């Protein structure tokens, strides 16, 4: 189950009480105060764990309590500090105050930590209150309470490339072909119900992370369909692959689908619509797709100068697409005009 939003309450540990004690040993009269301080309460710490990809572990446990500090003891012994409570969450999680909505931290780096609630300080023992005028103080302090907070955690996946498109455009098939991801694949809409992450390896030392976003439909930014739940997961990506099914005999619908999805991105976030995109025509193994690609190529280039025709079934065009993605991510981009001319001539032959 993919869970990307949870609300939890974190309670740091209270500080231990100070001790009121007097030294009592044989042959040592008037030993004086020797009460120790209380221990500090434990903190509640959030840590980004790269082995996690969802917030499901936090869905059922809503309250997290760190250990209290121990009370001080006689013979100037300080109480033991409480243990920290470490909550592991996936990288890319936004931590917000649930009451004010304030963003507290964005845990993007693996093993990055954030103290969400600080433990209370321990109270002072009566030894601390000894002075020239107070030789035998009986005063001591109770421990300070730890912080308590209600947090709203929102996960935004960390991926280099986001694969977007309407249902049945071939997104899941593509990510299963180029990576180790194994999403559900079927010939009906909304097969993918959750985002899928896959690591794509081109050569030794060269790899990137791709995210397959569930099918977006017209009106997704208003809450229609499934895609609206996951549009936020492509906000962190550096590059978008816009997949369009070119096997449709109605060529106008192909162009309409392009404009509809671009409109959804813009309505959801203008910044999202400005991300670099590669337009990918899918299902090249279908003769109708090849014909449509040939007839619509000039129109598609006007919309997006970087256009590829691929088949996830046969593997046609995929390797060239991957190298183009690598170039886009590294910003070492070859001339787009040269690639377009080369691709067009290849289709002509």
CATH number at residue 166: 3.40.50.300
- Across 320-337, average pLDDT: 70
130 and 188 together in one domain:
no
145 and 254 together in one domain:
no
Q: Point out the domain boundary residue: 134, 155, 176.
A: 155
Note the pLDDT of residue 87.
Answer: 96
Q: Which domain holds residue 216?
A: 161-348
- Is residue 194 scored above 50 in pLDDT? yes
199 and 267 together in one domain:
yes
User: How many distinct structural domains can be found in the chain?
Assistant: 2
CATH number at residue 24: 2.70.210.12
Alpha-carbon gap, residue 265 to 245, rounded angstroms = 18
Question: Strand locations in the chain, DSSP E?
Answer: 5-11, 44-48, 63-65, 85-89, 93-97, 103-107, 113-117, 148-155, 161-164, 196-203, 206-212, 239-245, 277-282, 307-309
Both tokens assigned to 103: 């963003």
Select the more confidently predicted residue: 50 or 232.
50
Average pLDDT over all residues of the chain:
83
The 10s digit of each residue's pLDDT in 161-178 is 888 888 777 888 888 888
147 and 194 together in one domain:
no
- Is residue 95 scored above 90 in pLDDT? yes
The 10s digit of each residue's pLDDT in 111-169 is 999 999 999 999 999 999 999 888 899 999 999 999 999 999 988 877 888 888 887 77
Q: Point out the domain boundary residue: 105, 131, 155.
A: 155
Q: Point out the domain boundary residue: 155, 176, 203.
A: 155
Work out the pLDDT band at 34, boundaries 50, 70, 90: very high
Range in 1-15, 37-51, 89-103 the model is least confident about: 1-15
151 and 165 together in one domain:
no
- In terms of C-beta distances under 8 Å and separation of at least 24 residues, what long-range contacts does 106-111 make, across chains too? 107/46, 107/47, 107/48, 108/48, 108/158, 109/48, 110/48, 110/49, 110/50, 111/47, 111/48, 111/49, 111/50
- Across 53-73, average pLDDT: 91
Residue found by looking up tokens 């030894």 in the block? 127
3-state secondary structure of 293: helix
Alpha-carbon gap, residue 343 to 323, rounded angstroms = 14
Work out the pLDDT band at 188, boundaries 50, 70, 90: very low
48 and 192 together in one domain:
no
- Is residue 337 scored above 50 in pLDDT? no
Starting at the earlier edge strand, list the strands of the sheet with 277-282. 196-203, 206-212, 161-164, 239-245, 277-282, 307-309
- Is residue 338 scored above 50 in pLDDT? no
By the 8 A CB rule, do 303 and 258 touch? yes
Kindly write down the DSSP assignment for every residue of 36-51, as one continuous string.
PPPPPPPPEEEEE-TT
By the 8 A CB rule, do 272 and 162 touch? no
Alpha-carbon gap, residue 43 to 66, rounded angstroms = 6
132 and 238 together in one domain:
no
Give the global pTM. Answer: 0.70
- Is residue 100 scored above 70 in pLDDT? yes
Work out the pLDDT band at 2, boundaries 50, 70, 90: low
Work out the pLDDT band at 45, boundaries 50, 70, 90: very high
By the 8 A CB rule, do 31 and 24 touch? yes
Rg, Å, the chain Cα set: 30
129 and 12 together in one domain:
yes
94 and 232 together in one domain:
no
Alpha-carbon gap, residue 111 to 106, rounded angstroms = 12
88 and 224 together in one domain:
no
Closest by CA to 94, choosing from 105, 82, 102, is 105
Closest by CA to 260, choosing from 164, 156, 146, is 164
At 182, phi and psi to the nearest 5? -130, 70
Note the pLDDT of residue 25.
Answer: 85
> Highest mean pLDDT: which of 94-98, 192-196, 197-201, 238-242?
94-98
The 10s digit of each residue's pLDDT in 244-299 is 888 888 888 888 888 888 888 888 878 888 888 899 998 888 899 999 899 888 88
252 and 125 together in one domain:
no
β-strand pairing of 113-117 with 93-97: unpaired
200 and 151 together in one domain:
no
């Amino acid at each position: 189950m993919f869970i990307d939003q949870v609300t939890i309450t974190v309670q740091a540990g209270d500080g231990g009480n100070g001790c009121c004690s007097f030294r009592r040993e044989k042959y040592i009269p008037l030993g004086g105060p020797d009460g120790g301080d209380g221990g500090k309460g434990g903190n509640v710490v959030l840590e980004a764990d790269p082995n996690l990809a969802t917030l499901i572990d936090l869905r059922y446990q809503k309250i997290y309590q760190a250990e209290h500090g121990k009370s001080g003891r006689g013979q100037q012994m300080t109480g033991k500090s409480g243990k920290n409570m470490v909550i592991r969450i996936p990288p890319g999680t936004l931590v917000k105050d649930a009451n004010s909505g304030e963003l507290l931290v964005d845990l993007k780096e693996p093993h990055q930590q954030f103290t969400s609630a600080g433990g209370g300080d321990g109270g002072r023992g009566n030894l601390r209150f000894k002075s020239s005028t107070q030789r035998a103080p009986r005063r001591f302090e109770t421990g300070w309470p730890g912080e308590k907070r209600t947090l709203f955690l929102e996960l935004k996946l960390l991926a280099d490339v986001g694969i977007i498109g309407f249902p049945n455009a071939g997104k899941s098939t593509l990510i299963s072909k180029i990576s180790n991801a194994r999403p559900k694949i079927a010939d009906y809409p909304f097969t993918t119900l959750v985002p899928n992450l896959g690591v794509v390896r081109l050569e030794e030392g060269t790899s990137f992370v791709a995210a397959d976003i569930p099918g977006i439909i017209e009106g997704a930014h208003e809450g229609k369909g499934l895609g609206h739940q996951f549009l936020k997961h492509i906000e962190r990506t550096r590059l978008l692959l816009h997949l369009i099914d070119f096997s449709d005999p109605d060529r106008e619908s192909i162009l309409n689908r392009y404009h509809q999805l671009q409109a959804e991105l813009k309505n959801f976030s203008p910044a999202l619509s400005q991300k670099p995109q590669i337009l990918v025509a899918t299902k090249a193994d279908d003769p109708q797709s090849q014909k449509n690609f040939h007839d619509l190529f000039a129109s598609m280039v006007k919309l997006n100068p970087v256009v590829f025709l691929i088949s996830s079934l046969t593997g046609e065009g995929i390797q060239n697409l991957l190298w183009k993605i690598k170039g886009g991510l590294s910003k070492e981009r070859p001339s787009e005009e040269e690639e377009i001319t080369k691709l067009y001539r290849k289709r002509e032959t």
